[in-house]
Amino acid sequence: MNPLAKAELEAAFTRIATDRSHGATELAAAALAALVNSAEALATEGEDYLAACRALAVRVGQLRPSMASLGNWAAAYLNELEARRNGVEPWREAALAIEQRRSDVSRRLVEEVRRLLRPPASRLLTLSYSSTVAQALALLGRPIEIVIGEARPLLEGRKLASAMVEAGHRVTLVTDAALSHEAGQADLVLLGADTIGRDGTAINKTGSFAAALGAKRAGVPVYVVADRYKLEPNRDGRDLLLEVMPGEEIWPEAAGLCRNIYFEPVPADLITAFVMDCGVVAPGALGSLLEEIRAIRRALEPR
């Protein structure tokens, strides 16, 4: 790869690895764009671009350990690339195929969330910022009451609160410490997820566990919104990876005292169901989807 293309790739990877304001879906899109650009650069230089792209896709999966979708979508792109290796511009054809797939998955997922939130559901609790949750709620077509956890330390919940006010919903922003209490007053809890383990454990912004516990105690259903590309078929709740961020984000003057864990596990027994691009799925019924992701990931294995 020429020096300019390599520098652009490394800059993109650094942005993804250090990003603190976007979720897994958005970062997966950025990683795919970087991978597609690199594939074109490698192919036009006459290199063994499939092997080189495979190595880059493996790196993509390592950029954010708590976000399975980055590696899964990179593997899906590799599969499309190999299927079109004899095409005129296989990297471009594969990119178009993946973009269409991502669009279809997103559309179906939003439709499933909107279906879940049909009347009589009128008061939900969520936290942080999920682009999928935000899109579905913005397109709901009727105003509801939304209680949003602020999501310390970077307060992403404010971004969702602003978007929901603009969409016409009645919004209350609360501290993360209040989530367990507030969950008991809701009709349902709606969480995003950055990763779902093979045992149905969901990884989401810290505060999700407290919200799910409060909901469980009060008999309030907990739904986790995630497409199948967020599945991690090789890990479960005991060994899913959690990212630790700089302590300065919590207390700049005493960073050494701080443990800044962005994401935490929500065990399957606290989750009513997953709202996925293929419908509403119980935590114990993920088997066929896990096998599908395992098959996709084989593209990352050395040849």
| Position 274 in a domain | yes
Condensed to tens digits (0 to 9), the pLDDT of residues 226-250 reads: 999 999 999 999 999 898 999 999 9
Predicted pLDDT of residue 43:
80
Q: Is residue 299 part of a domain?
A: no
Which pLDDT belongs to residue 87? 83
Q: Say whether both 113 and 101 belong to one domain.
A: no
Same domain assignment for residues 230 and 128: yes
Q: What is the mean pLDDT of residues 30-42?
A: 90
Examine the fold and report which residue of 105, 139, 161 is the final residue of a domain before the chain moves on. 105
Whole-angstrom Cα distance, residue 44 to residue 233? 35
Query: Residue 302 falls within a domain, yes or no?
Result: no
Instruction: Say if residue 181 is in the same domain as residue 95.
Output: no
Say whether both 70 and 208 belong to one domain.
no
Task: For 180-203, write each residue's pLDDT tens digit.
Answer: 999 999 999 999 999 999 999 999
pLDDT in tens, 117-143: 999 889 999 999 999 899 999 999 999
Instruction: Provide the number of structural domains found in the chain.
Output: 2
Position 47 scores a pLDDT of: 60
Other CB atoms within a 10 A radius of the CB of residue 303 amount to 7
Closest by Cα among 159, 197, 157 to 175: 157
Q: Are residues 33 and 137 located together in one domain of the fold?
A: no
pLDDT in tens, 50-79: 899 999 999 999 999 889 999 999 999 999
303 located within any domain: no
96 and 131 part of one domain: no
Task: Using the predicted structure, report yes or no on whether residue 48 has a pLDDT greater than 90.
Answer: no
1: pLDDT strictly greater than 80? no
What CATH number does residue 150 fall under?
A: 3.40.50.10470
**Residue 16 belongs to domain spanning:** 3-105
Question: Residues 169-179: pLDDT tens digits?
Answer: 999 999 999 99
On whether residue 300 sits in a domain, the answer given is no
Domain boundary among 105, 136, 165: 105
**For residues 40 and 64, which has the higher predicted lDDT (pLDDT)?**
64
With respect to residue 261, please indicate whether it lies within any of the assigned structural domains.
yes
pLDDT at 46 over 80: no
- Give yes or no: residues 97 and 136 share one domain: no
DSSP β-bridge partners for residue 279: 276
Same domain, yes or no, for 145 and 252?
A: yes
* 94 and 154, same domain (yes or no): no
In a domain, 298, yes or no: no
State the Cα–Cα distance between residues 156 and 127, nearest whole angstrom.
8
Question: Residue 56 is part of a domain; what is its CATH number?
Answer: 1.20.120
Contact 191, 149 (CB under 8 A): no
Residue 301 covered by a domain = no
Residue whose structure tokens are 């093979």: 198
Which residues contact residue 73 at a Cβ distance below 8 angstroms, ignoring those fewer than 6 apart? 28, 31, 32, 98, 102, 229
Q: Decide which of 105, 140, 157 is a domain's last residue.
A: 105
What is the Cα 164 distance to its own chain's centre?
20
93 with 121, same domain: the answer is no
Examine the domain organization and report whether 125 and 243 are in the same domain: yes
- Which residue intervals of 235-285 are DSSP H helices? none
Do both 86 and 181 map to the same domain?
A: no
pLDDT band at 149 (very low <50, low <70, confident <90, very high): very high
